[in-house]
């Protein structure tokens, strides 16, 4: 007495293949599409003011620290207050329509609501000042901001990405005088800078334990 | 099959009641799944599903709020949850012991109870796995404990006994499940062949994997069973040894002991048999399995409980001796504190239930008395729960620095989670009784007198060929 058709004998084979293929696809989907490299790199939200880093940091050659003034002293690099903008724009392009939100903020006292791009999870304690004094430059993590009309996330900021450098910092360090220099590459290093880099590497003890970054 | 022959000389009986035919065995076991469930089943099922529902709500609240709803707190960071985990995983040991070790040692009385105990093992391990999962607080991060490449570059710490535990328990679960299923295949085929409606035919037919009972099927089956038995035998020892490493590899006085692995294994088998006994007596009474599960089975189980109970008692004594002999003041203090400190009542409950209560089984009258052994089996399980509670809580609450001492008291959610796990266990078990052949039909038949080709064939070696032929003929004619 036959309950199932004979073709059902193929079921174990089909099921095994299904699990193998399905499992492979699922693994690929998770590894590729769920990764911060896929999800976050290139995040480029529209800002309330069409501020151009290319113009300010690139063409005008302003130092990053003119606006992100706390970056050497605190955890946060700091988004500049309206007052910093108005320091120049009270004099320059005072009629520009694109600067209207900044002037509104200046008169009303309400801050401009910039959209945060580089964000790490709440349980990650990232300290800008420590990284700067260790010799990690802005461009290492943020990319060539001086060439970005609108800032976009350049690196995944994932834990494995952090660990790449924490486990082997040598290729990512630069002399502290070159921190904000976006153009600088290790090939440009002078003899004195090379000596400094050796000293920096000697001093560098990036934590690899959990509580180094998670507290 | 030489092993059956000396039976008469040994004055032993067959493992089923006299007069039980092969067809009777099939009938007794299969009809449970074919007839309407008895009223008592519905009552028990109603209660256990309700309790499981409470467990679900408790866990939902736990995940929403955090494990702060339990009484665990520094210094007693492991409390009821880990107690329950070890308790359940210990209960889950009887299954493999009965199905694998007793199989390899040719203990044929295991056939009547192995299906039961394997099912119980599966459900107990499920309950056990639940506790570390929810104890971790964020179960959606459980994949952290598996070696899966990920964007965090995070890799399990293979030096951690907690990780060994993940592998030990999941291996145990997988092998137990396979073992259980392989044994079920011929019996599922029996249920399929008896099925009268289409759904049953399809369902049992599907899980019977096309079993036809051909010679080749049986020989493959026997081989697979033997291989699985050989695979699971080391697991009986390894799983609870690894569980004990969770404690023994720490530097906590009261935990850091070399006796832990064998002591845990003995305790696990002890509690597992006690749980099998509790369930067996209920099912045997409710479903009238007296012909297949006889007093002799129960008596043999009681003997195992007596043995393992005494082993556990020896371990308790040895722990005390070593604490004194080591000369380590912290170790000494922890043990004196166990017996006479804040949790003295837990310690003495443990001693009473685990060491004293099984000693009654020295008396044949008591170990063949069903109500008595039922009570003792429950007492033992209570005792084994206290054992884990004593090990975990009394070691943690007063360890080195008096400034870091503290006490533990459970909250209502500790109680609800524990009782809920019992509900989950019984729900699964009742469903098993309802839909699965609760006794291994095919295996019981193998140890019945009818399976003996020399049945009724008295005096062997001195017969000559003619006489053999003469006695054989009428028997064949009768058939």
The three-state DSSP-derived secondary structure of B19-36 is CCCHHHHHHHHHHHHHCC
Whether the CB of A158 is below 8 Å from some CB of chain B: the reply is yes
Question: Would residue B112 count as lying in a domain?
Answer: yes
Measured on CA atoms in the order B347, B349, B354, B358, is the torsion positive or negative?
positive
ipTM of the complex: 0.72
Separation in Å, CA of A99 to nearest CA in chain B: 40
- Expressed as residue numbers, the domain containing B261 is 31-148+164-455
Q: Is the pLDDT of residue A68 over 90?
A: yes
Q: Dihedral angle at the C-alpha atoms of B80, B86, B88, B91, nearest 10 degrees? A: -140
Q: Which one is predicted more confidently, A166 or B450?
A: A166
Q: What was the pLDDT predicted at B426? A: 95
Contact A3 B201 (CB under 8 A): yes
Q: What was the pLDDT predicted at B278? A: 93
Instruction: Give me the CATH number covering residue B444.
Output: 1.20.1630.10
Whether the CB of A166 is below 8 Å from some CB of chain B: the reply is no
With beta carbons under 8 A apart, name residues in chain A contacting B150.
160
Question: Would residue B153 count as lying in a domain?
Answer: no
Q: Which of A3, A9, A35 sits opposite B151 (nearest CB)?
A: A35
Question: Would residue B156 count as lying in a domain?
Answer: no
Contact A37 B151 (CB under 8 A): yes
Q: Is B11 left (phi over 0), alpha (psi -120 to 50) or beta?
A: left
Number of domains in chain B: 1
* List of residues 6+ apart from B295 with CB closer than 8 A: B368, B370
Q: What was the pLDDT predicted at B462? A: 46
Tokens of residue B175, six digits: 């092998």
Strand, helix or coil for residue B187 = helix
Q: Is B148 left (phi over 0), alpha (psi -120 to 50) or beta?
A: beta
Q: Which of A3, A4, A159 sits opposite B151 (nearest CB)?
A: A159
Q: What was the pLDDT predicted at B472? A: 40
- Chain A CA closest to residue B192: A3
CA distance B209 to B191: 13
Tokens of residue B44, six digits: 């028990």
- Chain B CA closest to residue A34: B151
Strand spans (E) along B16-105 = none
How does pLDDT run along chain B (479 residues), one tens digit per residue?
445 555 555 556 777 877 788 888 898 889 888 888 888 899 999 999 999 999 999 999 999 999 899 999 889 999 999 999 999 999 998 888 888 888 888 888 888 888 988 999 999 999 999 999 999 888 898 888 888 888 888 889 899 999 999 999 999 999 999 999 999 999 999 999 999 999 999 999 999 988 999 999 999 999 999 999 998 888 888 999 999 999 999 999 999 999 999 999 999 999 999 999 999 999 888 888 888 888 888 999 999 999 999 999 999 999 999 999 999 999 999 999 999 999 999 999 999 999 999 999 999 999 999 999 999 999 999 999 999 999 999 999 998 899 999 999 999 999 999 999 999 999 999 999 999 999 999 888 888 878 777 766 554 454 444 444 444 433 333 33
Whether the CB of B155 is below 8 Å from some CB of chain A: the reply is no
Contact B153 A160 (CB under 8 A): yes
Question: Would residue B155 count as lying in a domain?
Answer: no
Question: Would residue B394 count as lying in a domain?
Answer: yes
Contact B152 A31 (CB under 8 A): no
Q: Is the pLDDT of residue A63 over 70?
A: yes
Strand, helix or coil for residue A183 = coil
HSE of B155, CA atoms in CB hemisphere, 13 A = 7
Q: Which of B152, B192, B202 sits opposite A159 (nearest CB)?
A: B152
* List of residues 6+ apart from B270 with CB closer than 8 A: B90, B305, B308, B309, B311, B312, B354, B358, B380, B384
Q: What was the pLDDT predicted at B127? A: 95
Contact A160 B205 (CB under 8 A): no
Tokens of residue A54, six digits: 């290319």
Tokens of residue B68, six digits: 């702060």
Whether the CB of B153 is below 8 Å from some CB of chain A: the reply is yes
Quote the radius of gyration of chain A (alpha carbons, Å).
25
Q: Which of A3, A4, A36 sits opposite B151 (nearest CB)?
A: A36
Q: What was the pLDDT predicted at B476? A: 37
Q: What was the pLDDT predicted at B467? A: 44
Q: Encode A61-96 in three state secondary structure.
A: CCCHHHHCCCCCCCCCCCCCCHHHHHHHHCCCCCCC
Whether the CB of A37 is below 8 Å from some CB of chain B: the reply is yes
Contact B202 A159 (CB under 8 A): no
Q: What was the pLDDT predicted at B11? A: 59
Quote the radius of gyration of chain B (alpha carbons, Å).
25
Whether the CB of A159 is below 8 Å from some CB of chain B: the reply is yes
Q: What was the pLDDT predicted at B45? A: 95
CA distance B45 to B377: 22
Question: Would residue B217 count as lying in a domain?
Answer: yes
Q: What was the pLDDT predicted at B445? A: 87
Whether the CB of B192 is below 8 Å from some CB of chain A: the reply is yes
Assign A139 a pLDDT band (cuts: 50, 70, 90).
very high
CB A125 within 8 A of CB A213: yes
Q: Residues 200-239, chain B: which have Cβ within 8 Å of A?
A: 201-202, 205-206, 210
Q: Which of A4, A37, A160 sits opposite B152 (nearest CB)?
A: A160
Q: What was the pLDDT predicted at B473? A: 38
CB A175 within 8 A of CB A196: yes
Question: Would residue B467 count as lying in a domain?
Answer: no
CA distance A129 to B63: 37
Taking the CB of residue A93, how many other CB atoms lie within 10 A of it?
Answer: 10
Contact B210 A156 (CB under 8 A): no
Task: Identify the residue among B146, B147, B151, B208 best suited for mutation to test binding to A, counting A beta carbons within 10 A and taking the highest.
Answer: B151
Contact B205 A4 (CB under 8 A): yes
Strand, helix or coil for residue A173 = strand
Q: What was the pLDDT predicted at B292? A: 87
Strand, helix or coil for residue B445 = helix
* CA angle in degrees (0–180, nearest 5) for B30-B33-B37: 135
CA distance B37 to B303: 33
CB B222 within 8 A of CB B138: no
Separation in Å, CA of B141 to nearest CA in chain A: 14
With beta carbons under 8 A apart, name residues in chain B contacting A2.
none
Tokens of residue A214, six digits: 């998670």
Strand, helix or coil for residue A33 = helix
CA distance A52 to B234: 68
CA distance B477 to B479: 5
Shortest CA distance to B108 belongs to which of B302, B270, B296? B296
CB B123 within 8 A of CB B80: no
* List of residues 6+ apart from B407 with CB closer than 8 A: B76, B342, B397
CA distance B207 to B300: 33
Tokens of residue B28, six digits: 């007794």
Whether the CB of B149 is below 8 Å from some CB of chain A: the reply is yes
Contact B151 A4 (CB under 8 A): no
DSSP string, B224-256: HHHHHHHHHHHHHHHHHHHHHHHHHTS--TTT-
Contact B151 A160 (CB under 8 A): yes
Tokens of residue A26, six digits: 């699922």
Contact A4 B192 (CB under 8 A): no
With beta carbons under 8 A apart, name residues in chain B contacting A36.
151
CB B374 within 8 A of CB B278: yes
Shortest CA distance to B256 belongs to which of B313, B317, B325, B334? B334
Question: Would residue B476 count as lying in a domain?
Answer: no
- Chain B CA closest to residue A11: B209
Tokens 């297949």 belong to residue: B292
* CA angle in degrees (0–180, nearest 5) for B326-B332-B335: 125
Taking the CB of residue A100, how many other CB atoms lie within 10 A of it?
Answer: 11
Contact B202 A3 (CB under 8 A): yes
């Amino acid at each position: 007495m036959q309950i199932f058709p004979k073709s059902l004998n193929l079921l174990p084979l089909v099921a095994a293949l299904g699990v193998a293929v399905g499992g492979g696809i699922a693994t690929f989907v998770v590894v590729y599409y769920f990764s911060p490299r896929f999800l976050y790199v290139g995040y480029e939200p529209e800002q309330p003011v069409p501020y151009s880093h290319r113009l300010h940091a690139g063409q005008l050659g302003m130092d990053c620290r003119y606006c992100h003034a706390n970056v050497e002293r605190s955890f946060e690099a700091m988004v500049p207050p309206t007052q910093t903008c108005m320091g120049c724009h009270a004099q320059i392009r005072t009629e520009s329509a694109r600067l209207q939100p900044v002037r509104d903020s200046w008169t009303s006292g309400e801050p401009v609501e910039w959209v945060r791009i580089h964000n790490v999870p709440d349980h990650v304690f990232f300290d800008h000042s420590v990284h700067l004094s260790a010799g990690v430059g802005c461009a290492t993590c943020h990319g060539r901001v001086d060439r970005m009309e609108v800032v976009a996330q350049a690196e995944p900021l994932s834990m494995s990405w952090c660990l790449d450098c924490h486990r082997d910092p040598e290729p990512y360090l630069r002399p502290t005088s070159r921190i904000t220099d976006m153009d600088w590459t290790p090939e440009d290093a002078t003899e004195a800078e090379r000596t400094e880099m050796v000293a920096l590497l000697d001093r560098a003890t990036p934590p690899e334990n959990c509580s180094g970054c998670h507290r | 099959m030489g092993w059956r022959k000396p039976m008469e000389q040994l004055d032993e009986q067959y493992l089923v009641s006299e007069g039980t035919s092969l067809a009777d065995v099939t009938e007794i076991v299969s009809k449970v799944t074919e007839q309407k469930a008895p009223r008592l089943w519905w009552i028990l099922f109603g209660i256990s599903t309700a309790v499981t529902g409470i467990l679900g709500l408790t866990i939902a609240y736990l995940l929403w709020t955090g494990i702060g709803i339990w009484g665990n707190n520094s210094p007693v960071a492991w409390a009821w949850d880990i107690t329950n985990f070890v308790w359940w995983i210990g209960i889950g040991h009887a299954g493999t012991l009965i199905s694998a070790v007793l199989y390899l040692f040719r203990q044929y009385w295991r056939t009547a109870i192995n299906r039961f105990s394997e099912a119980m093992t599966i459900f107990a391990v499920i309950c056990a796995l639940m506790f570390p999962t929810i104890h971790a607080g964020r179960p959606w991060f459980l994949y952290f404990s598996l070696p899966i490449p990920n964007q965090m570059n995070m890799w399990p710490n293979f030096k951690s006994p907690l990780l060994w535990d993940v592998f030990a328990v999941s291996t145990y679960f997988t092998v137990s499940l396979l073992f259980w299923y392989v044994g079920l295949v011929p019996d599922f085929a029996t249920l399929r062949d008896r099925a009268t409606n289409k759904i049953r035919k399809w369902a049992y037919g599907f899980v019977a994997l096309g079993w036809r009972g051909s010679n080749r099927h049986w020989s493959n089956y026997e081989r697979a069973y033997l291989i699985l038995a050989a695979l699971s035998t080391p697991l009986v020892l390894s799983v609870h040894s690894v569980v004990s490493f969770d404690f023994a590899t720490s530097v906590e006085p009261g935990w850091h002991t070399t006796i832990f692995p064998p002591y845990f294994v003995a305790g696990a088998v002890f509690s597992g048999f006690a749980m099998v006994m509790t369930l067996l007596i209920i099912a045997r009474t409710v479903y009238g399995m007296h012909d297949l599960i006889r007093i002799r089975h129960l008596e043999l189980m009681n003997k195992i409980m007596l043995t393992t109970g005494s082993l556990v008692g020896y371990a308790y004594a040895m722990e005390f001796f070593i604490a004194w002999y080591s000369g380590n003041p912290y170790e000494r203090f922890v043990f004196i504190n166990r017996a006479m400190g804040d949790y003295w009542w837990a310690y003495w409950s443990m001693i009473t239930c685990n060491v004293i209560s099984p000693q009654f089984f020295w008396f044949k009258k008591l170990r063949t008395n069903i109500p008595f052994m039922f009570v003792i089996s429950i007492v033992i399980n209570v005792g084994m729960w206290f054992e884990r509670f004593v090990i975990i809580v009394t070691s943690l609450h007063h360890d080195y620095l008096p400034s870091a001492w503290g006490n533990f008291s459970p909250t209502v959610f500790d109680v609800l989670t524990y009782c809920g796990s019992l509900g989950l266990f019984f729900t699964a078990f009742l469903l098993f009784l309802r839909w699965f052949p609760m006794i291994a039909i095919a295996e019981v038949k193998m140890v019945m007198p009818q399976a003996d080709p020399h049945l009724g064939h008295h005096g062997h070696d001195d017969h000559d060929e003619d006489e053999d032929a003469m006695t054989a003929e009428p028997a064949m004619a009768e058939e």
